[in-house]
Chains A and B, each alone.
Chain A
């Protein structure tokens, strides 16, 4: 199970980085979403996947899922959600002001 999840996370990273290297702003943003989701899956996998066990340690419970990765993911998801929404608004405004969504044309070489 861990192996499959790791490969999935790796695929998400790969496609994310491919999109990150594109010129269109929206594709770049989709790329960032993909890699952050890859990272979240990766954190979950790192805490060992056990199906059907609660993340609670009580008396009598011997088998439990590590709760820490779940707490970390929750934090990380909230942060990436916030940043993505900010990035979308920013990209919208930037493409309006600069009248292009092509990163090649937004290079800014007026000082060169």
Chain B
């Protein structure tokens, strides 16, 4: 059964390649892409159920035993993130035909989309730190192609910066892996975790840990390394923005979560450092969101405070906080995708992204309006929605360890997040009917709303069904706090 762990990587990879050959038959490609994505979701859901019942699956590629070969480790954390990834993917694939131009679809959108899913799933599932780098590159290569798809002036300009910053951090990643290899002589994460504890020179290891943090912080867009994110996430098509916003930064957060709960564990200085970074990330991100009138940019800036909340959990480093981070991670993946898709729909229907030029949308598109309000409440963390439960856990853990300042910053940030989104709601959806500014296209609006409803449905379920989901998050928190379980399941000693 251990081969199951490879399926979430192999299915999208083969699907992506398959669709290249059919590229002259767009109707077939569209249907096939939907079927394959749904199929992949079903497979991943089955694997998740299997792991929930039977525990971690490890696959030793090519039959090479754990420290020598490359391993794929599908534990509860990885598979839940892969499941959420596929959920977002389903919404994106149903949204894509109405949002992309025929030309964009024709130039291999679906292929790159599947390769992106491959990279993201691979990064979640791998148990080898060099392999993590390789899957990062698979994911980034696909994202380079997606961000430039369509090739407008602004898009090209922003993608240059996006490629450069990611290229630089990748080179740094590879260098850091080389450093680590020279100190401990392995790249297998479980063995790394074992050996790092035995190394006597702690100084060099702290340097390596900081370098890793720097690399992942660039990818995850933490303060002060988030400057590349907002503009480059606004430039591409809304579907692509939704995929990026939901998946790419979260892979960075996942890497920090994995590396700093498994390999470089518990350094009080590092902990303090994480908490400060978290506070600054929240504040500066949300200030950015309030500073602009571009509705897409508001959502792009809103990625940053969310990332801050997750880092806060890793910094507090106790079971409640880590569970909170996991819960928040899943919640944020779903809701960010939904928000990007919603705002993309508004921008498409209104023909502009400037919120001062849009008004009275509620009269024409009531469903869209109510969905946006719901998404706002979910993101800002109004009870009983999922944002509230994630934040509650994190702030509870903060109060329990007497860090009042960070809790206050967290609360102010949540309030400002609500404000930044309410600005969009009040400006765009309220107000007088404005018949001259745009032509009303209810048909298109209906196509846009369906995927968003799917995402919001799961988001609401995640919040209202907390009774069911919280124990899972709690068990993952417990699992991450005890790295021996991971090491044992990989090395089987």
Contact A94 B134, beta carbon cutoff 8 Å: no
Contact check: which of B141, B157, B171, B178 meets A82 at CB < 8 Å? B141
User: Scoring B residues 288 to 316 as 1 if CB is less than 8 Å from chain A, else 0, what string do you get?
Assistant: 00001110010000000000000000000
Question: Within the assembled complex, what's the spacing in Å between the Cα atoms of A5 and B117?
Answer: 38
Report the count of interface residues on A (CB-CB < 8 A): 31
Q: Is A83 an interface residue (CB 8 A)?
A: yes
CA distance A87 to B156 in the complex (A): 11
Interface residues of A in 18-55 (CB under 8 A from B): 20, 25, 28, 32, 35-36, 39, 42-43, 46-47
**Chain A residues positioned under 8 Å from B168 (CB to CB):** 20, 32, 35
Q: Could you tell me the dominant secondary structure of chain B's interface residues? A: helix
B181 contacts A47, CB within 8 Å?
yes
Which chain A positions have C-beta within 8 A of B163? 83, 86-87, 90
Q: Does any Cβ of A come within 8 Å of B25's Cβ?
A: no
Complex partner residue of A25 from B153, B160, B175, CB under 8 angstroms: B160
B residues 136-172 in Cβ contact with A at 8 Å: 137, 141, 144, 148, 151-154, 156-160, 163-164, 167-168, 170-171
Are A94 and B160 neighbours in the complex by a CB distance under 8 Å? yes
* Chain A nearest CB, measured from B312 CB (Å): 28
Indicate if the CB atoms of A94 and B297 lie closer than 8 Å: no
Check B156–A90 contact: CB distance below 8 A.
yes
**Chain B: which residue is nearest A75 at the CB level?**
B134
B352 CB within 8 Å of chain A: no
Q: Do A90 and B159 have beta carbons less than 8 Å apart? A: yes
Q: Which residues of the partner chain A approach B292 to less than 8 Å between Cβ atoms?
A: 111
B160 cross-chain contacts in A, Cβ below 8 A: 25, 87, 90-91, 94, 106
- The residues of B that contact A25 with a CB separation of less than 8 Å are 160
| Cβ contact within 8 Å between A79 and B137 | yes
* Contact status B167-A87, CB under 8 Å: yes
- Interface assignment of B130: CB less than 8 Å from any CB of chain A: yes
Q: Is B179 an interface residue (CB 8 A)?
A: yes
CA distance A32 to B164 in the complex (A): 8
Nearest residue in B to A94 (C-beta to C-beta)? B156
- Taking beta carbons and an 8 Å cutoff, which residues of A are in contact with B? 20, 25, 28, 32, 35-36, 39, 42-43, 46-47, 68-69, 72, 75-76, 79-80, 82-83, 86-87, 90-91, 93-94, 97-98, 106, 108, 111
